[in-house]
């Protein structure tokens, strides 16, 4: 058994788990794994290369040979930075769709586990506690209401200048996309989105980022 400690944080889209996990990793001086980014990179590569999102064998082959890296707070695909492209709604929806495919998930499993290196790893995703790092000492299911998550995603788009102005129709679409992804991720037969029975529930609906980070660290210190 790998003795390198892991904090596994699962949760639905836009719950804030990525930001929280990254800050926890920085506070501890540990490595960080954004498993959702790996699926998004696979989806982005499929879109760029014209691979159908329903072609499971081709997607699995593509996933096994992805040229990806995370460095200096940037995400790279084939040597090019793809930070904005990998976070686009189209890419996120495509990632959610291909994540239902068993062959693709199997192809990416070992790549995710390879991030487990000393002194420790903070990993966020949909199945970090239930599938990828089942022996993690600290397991957390981080969530928030769909409305709050939609507001966060909408505000993020505005702050990044990806929206020219406030638009209620766009907010409504983001909210519906989040609800659709929740339903799809929870209903899939392979590694569905769910709270692991041994994971602590952390609802961030009324929490700021610093408060959430401190709660995760407190849970970790109880289970070093």
29 among annotated binding-site residues: no
How does DSSP assign 21-52, residue by residue?
Answer: HHHHHHHHT-EEEEHHHHHHHHHHHHHHHT--
199 among annotated binding-site residues: no
First to last CA, the chain: 16
197 among annotated binding-site residues: no
Residue 11 sits at φ, ψ, to 5 deg, of 165, 170
Q: How far apart are CA 202 and CA 213, in angstroms?
A: 10
17 among annotated binding-site residues: yes
Q: How far apart are CA 70 and CA 59, in angstroms?
A: 21
99 among annotated binding-site residues: no
125 among annotated binding-site residues: no
Q: How far apart are CA 56 and CA 39, in angstroms?
A: 14
Residue 62 and residue 51 in contact, taking contact as beta carbons nearer than 8 Å: yes
5 among annotated binding-site residues: no
36 among annotated binding-site residues: no
Annotated binding residues: 11-19
Annotated binding residues for ATP: 11-19
């Amino acid at each position: 058994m790998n003795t390198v400690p892991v904090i596994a944080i699962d949760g639905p889209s836009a719950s804030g788990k990525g930001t929280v996990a990254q800050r926890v990793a920085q506070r501890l001086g540990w490595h960080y794994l954004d498993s959702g980014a790996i699926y998004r990179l696979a989806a982005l590569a499929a879109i760029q290369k014209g691979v159908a999102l329903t072609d499971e064998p081709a997607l699995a082959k593509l996933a096994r040979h992805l040229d990806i890296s995370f460095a200096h707070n940037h995400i790279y695909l084939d040597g090019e930075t793809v930070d904005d492209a990998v976070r686009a709604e189209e890419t996120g929806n495509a990632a959610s769709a291909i994540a239902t495919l068993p062959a693709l998930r199997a192809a990416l499993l070992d790549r995710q586990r390879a991030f487990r290196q000393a002194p420790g790893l903070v990993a966020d995703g949909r199945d970090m506690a239930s599938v990828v790092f089942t022996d993690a000492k600290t397991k957390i299911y981080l969530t928030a209401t769909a409305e709050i998550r939609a507001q966060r995603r909408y505000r993020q788009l505005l702050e990044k200048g990806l929206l020219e102005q406030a638009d209620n129709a766009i907010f409504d679409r983001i909210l519906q996309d989040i609800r659709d992804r929740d339903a799809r991720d929870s209903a899939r037969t392979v590694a569905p989105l769910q709270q692991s029975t041994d994971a602590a529930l952390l609802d961030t609906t009324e929490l700021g980022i610093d408060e959430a980070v401190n709660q995760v660290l407190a849970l970790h210190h109880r289970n070093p």
